[in-house]
Every structure is written in structure tokens, then in C-alpha cells.
Amino acid sequence: MKKINKKVTSISSEALDYLNNYSWPGNLRELNSVIERSVVLSSNTQIDVSDLTQVLTPNTNNTNYLKDGIQKAREQVINEFEIKAIQFYLNDTSGNITKAAQLAHLPRRSFYRLLEKHKIKGEIFKR
């Protein structure tokens, strides 16, 4: 994206599904803003769900996520919860992963696994 001077060339199919299932209260400018912010947050050349969930709030009023069955819905809700929790703890500790893990009452290695699972980089929370 030239405006941001960052080379993001694609969006994952999971991220596209996430965007399609999101209940858009705004307009096309809102979508454009979400994509721009996701590009800024992306740590590689592809926008992933973790990039979007840092920008969009979980949409619990929308029941589209239930269409694929309860197991998939549970997985999606848990993933969204984990991402929001990780972001909360990293934001609260200015990106300090050790302190964030302590606040979350998790072993540091477990917290690192969650970061890897959701492709979240602690350094974007540093102030």
C-alpha cells in the first residue's frame, strides 16, 4: 500500500471470511480504514485474521459465525477472546511479554504459544 509505504500483497482466506461475516455498521470508508490499519499492523506481506481482530471488535450480535456449526463457532469465539486478552495484557504492559504472561496468570511459554498461534508481535504494543 503506497500511502503507508508497506508492501502487503494479499489477504488470507480466513481474513476474508472474517470480513465477510462481520456486520458492517459503517460504509465503504470504514472498510477502507480497517484495511489500512490492518496493513499497518501486519507483520508480513499478508493480512491475517489476527491483524483484523486488532482493528475490529468482536461481533457478538452477528450470528453468522454459527452457520458452520457449534464446534467452529466455539473455536472462533475462543480465538477472538484469546486475541483480545493478549492485546489487553500486552497493551497494559507496553509489550513486555514476561509481565503480560504474569498478569494473565500463564507460564511465559504458554503466552508465547498464544502469540505465535495468533501471529501477534509484542513489539507493536511498545510505547
Mean of the pLDDT values across residues 43-68?
72
Contact 62, 22 (CB under 8 A): yes
Residue 5 pLDDT? 66
| 123 vs 94: CA distance, rounded Å | 8
| 58 vs 81: CA distance, rounded Å | 8
Quick check: 62 pLDDT over 60?
no
| 58 vs 90: CA distance, rounded Å | 18
| 15 vs 98: CA distance, rounded Å | 29
Contact 49, 18 (CB under 8 A): yes
Query: Please, which pLDDT band fits residue 50 given cuts at 50, 70 and 90?
Result: confident
Better pLDDT: 44 or 78: 78
